[in-house]
Chains A and B, each alone.
Chain A
Amino acid sequence: MNKHPLNPAFVRQARRRLLRMHFEAGVGHIGGNLSALDILLTLYHEVMTPQDEFVLSKGHAAGALYLTLWTLGLLSEEELTTFHQENTRLSGHPPPNAIPAIAFATGSLGHGSGLANGLALAERLRGGKGHVFCLTSDGEWNEGSSWESLIFARHQRLNLTLIVDLNGLQGFGSTAEVANLDPLAEKFRAFGLHTIEVDGHDLSALRTVLTPFASNAGPRIVVAKTRKGCGVSFMEDRMEWHYLPLNPAQYAAALKELDEETDRGRH
């Protein structure tokens, strides 16, 4: 596994490659992939140890996960070009039993946190020191099963970190319009969970809050405020980029923006 210290140039290259994946495949979901990418890169390159586990509950960010595995050398460039094509392992949502680094097929929301609980409970029963990370969307907290998992994790004081990609947009509206859970972090706190709020695109802050501070501290929630379509101004915080593929002009414009990104002082 080839871990890299994250720097703006590395992240920008990853973001460019993610856009290219989606452009060449002609598929959507780019918005939620861009909102999650910084979190995934930070986790895999700077936080997780070999004994840790990761579950992508927001399976529609499969592209960002594949891209992250590619940056680690766990998926080849050749395979990345098959994303969303016929006869690929890299389906639009993570596949079962196909890629060793991907524990579970996800895509139906509200499953990942329960799967993560099982991994964390197994680790505790075995006396292991591994930590379990699970990335959820914000819309998926509409699912009752997510709250079932939360109650259990808190009750059993499981050693895991749930990360919420709080981009504020879900399938057919903003999270505020559809079923407003604001303030979500306060709801987690009311469940008795250690809850941390962070800028989901601040790599340094992400690294700090995601690094587990003790092996038996119980579950914690990192609410990462993100922007859907992060890094591409015409995509940011716009619901249609949950669905739309990029046309050539949009792709060129997006790449141009990323090249100018340092001027915006994001990283």
Chain B
Amino acid sequence: MFLTGDLGYAALEPLREALGKRFINAGVAEQHMISMAAGLARKGFRPWCYSIAPFIYARPFEQIRNDLCMHNLPVVLVGNGGGYGYGVMGATHHAIEDYGALLSLTNMRCFVPAFDGDVSAMIDRLMASPTPAYFRLGRTELPKGMAQPHYLNWRKLCGGGGATLLAVGPIVGGVLDAARKMDEASRPSIWLVGELPLIDVPPEFKSDVTRSQRLVVIEEHVPHGSVGQMVAHRLLLDGASPRWFAHRTAQAYPSGRYGSQLFHRKESALDVASIMDLLKTGATHG
């Protein structure tokens, strides 16, 4: 069952054809769309609700909280344009606090694909999810010539003798591309996580942090409710904190100017050059 908040032109038409009566354009009325999805889920349907990311998680936040999460109903919220994905369309269309806000709700899980190939794997997992979930879509930045990495929740995309870097979502692509051009001894060990919240971290990741003693987390999301906070919390609890920790996050709109996704990443020092500079700084620590 697929519900859209009146979006999907030149994209969702084949899905509409395939689903027939199970495809509903719920109109520009996101609060109602979520409540209705709860009613459908209560009767055994598995609704997927689609819109531009902020319109699916922020506008109907109370409906998500009360109607979906309190009842633990398996409704999937599909948000297109995670982070600064909508670029120069402006701040109202950005989603830089989405998974942090949603993960504050009981029973909610968030899925953040990084590459095209992750999407179908995550859809399979979402179809089987017994809880409400949010699917944060972005645009793949897989380096040219690189094969689609096999999907896992936690993946080590690149080994190296440098710092440990943990990324969320497509932003990892550019860093991965730059790291591949470095020698193995100095390049970062790059990890990617796709499913939130972080309940635990794998022993291999923890071993990597213990080895490097330098951890960098990058994500197109504000610090509050971020993966950086979650992983720092987890490592503190486990007594496995590295000596050096850096966290690059979305800084909202420091200049008050608007531009492409890359423009906003640069303003938040989340572009590849800034992150590589950070890693060089980190090399003098530990």
For B26, the chain A residues whose CB sits under 8 A away are 152
Decide yes or no whether B241 CB sits under 8 A from chain A: no
Main secondary structure of the interface of A (DSSP, over half): helix
Known contacts A104-B71, A108-B62, A125-B22; is-contact A119 B42 (Cβ 8 Å): yes
**Residues 206-231 of B at the A interface (beta carbon under 8 Å):** none
C-alpha gap A93/B218 in the complex (Å): 42
- Other-chain residue from B27, B41, B44 in contact with A152 (beta carbon distance below 8 A): B27
A118 contacts B29, CB within 8 Å?
A: no
- B185 CB to nearest chain A CB (Å): 55
Known: A104-B38, A122-B40, A123-B43. A115 touches B67 (CB 8 A): yes
Closest A residue to B28 by CB, please name it.
A148
Is B36 in contact with A108, judged by CB distance below 8 angstroms?
Answer: no
**Do the beta carbons of A149 and B62 come within 8 Å of each other?**
no
Whether, in the assembled complex, A68 has its beta carbon less than 8 Å from a beta carbon of chain B, the answer is no
Q: Digit string of A105-135 for contact with B (CB within 8 Å is 1, else 0)? A: 1101011011111111111011000000000
A114 to B64, CA, bound (A): 12
The answer on a CB contact under 8 Å between A111 and B67 is yes
CA distance A155 to B36 in the complex (A): 14
- State the total of A-B contacts with C-beta under 8 angstroms: 95
A103–B31 CB distance below 8 A? no
Interface residue ranges of A35-91 to B (CB < 8 Å): none
B144, CB-defined interface residue at 8 Å: no
Q: Which residue of B lies closest to A124 (CB)?
A: B21
In angstroms, Cα B29 to Cα A122, docked, is 19
Say whether B45 faces chain A, with CB atoms less than 8 Å apart.
yes
A117 lies within 8 A of B67 (CB): no
Q: Which among B36, B66, B72 is the interface contact of A118 at CB below 8 angstroms? A: B36
Chain A, 199-216, contact with B by CB distance < 8 Å: what is the 0/1 string?
Answer: 000000000000000000
Q: How far is the CA of A113 from the CA of B36 in the complex (A)?
A: 8
With A125-B22, A151-B29 known to touch, is A96 a contact of B70 (CB < 8 Å)?
A: yes
CA distance A140 to B35 in the complex (A): 15
A114 to B39, CA, bound (A): 8
A180: Cβ under 8 A from any B Cβ: no
Is A118 within 8 A of B31, CB to CB? no
Q: Which of A122-168 contact B (CB under 8 A)?
A: 122-123, 125-126, 144-145, 148-149, 151-152, 155
Instruction: List B residues 56-73 near A (Cβ within 8 Å).
Output: 62-63, 66-67, 70-72
A155 to B32, CA, bound (A): 14
Q: Is the CB of B21 within 8 A of A104?
A: no
Whole-angstrom distance between the Cβ of A177 and the nearest chain B Cβ: 26
CB neighbours (8 Å) of B166 from chain A are: none
Contact B43 A111 (CB under 8 A): no
Known: A118-B36, A125-B22. A97 touches B42 (CB 8 A): no
Q: Given contacts A114-B39, A121-B40, is CB(A97)–CB(B71) below 8 Å?
A: yes
Asked whether, in the complex, the Cβ of A97 is within 8 Å of the Cβ of B66, the reply is: no
B contact residues around A108 at 8 Å (CB): 62, 66
Nearest Cβ in chain A — how far from B29, in angstroms? Answer: 4
Contact A148-B40, Cβ < 8 Å, known A111-B66, A125-B45: no
A259 to B37, CA, bound (A): 46
Complex: A50 Cα to B44 Cα, angstroms: 18
Flag if A152 contacts B36 (CB, 8 Å): yes
Known: A97-B72, A114-B63, A121-B36. A104 touches B42 (CB 8 A): yes
Contact partners of A119 in chain B: CB under 8 A: 39-40, 42-43
Contact A115 B38 (CB under 8 A): yes
Q: List 16 A-B contacts (CB under 8 A).
A: A97-B70, A97-B71, A104-B71, A108-B66, A111-B35, A114-B33, A114-B38, A116-B39, A117-B35, A118-B38, A118-B41, A119-B39, A121-B36, A145-B31, A151-B29, A152-B32
User: Which 7 A/B pairs are nearest by Cβ-Cβ distance?
Assistant: A118-B39, A114-B35, A122-B43, A148-B32, A148-B29, A118-B36, A145-B31
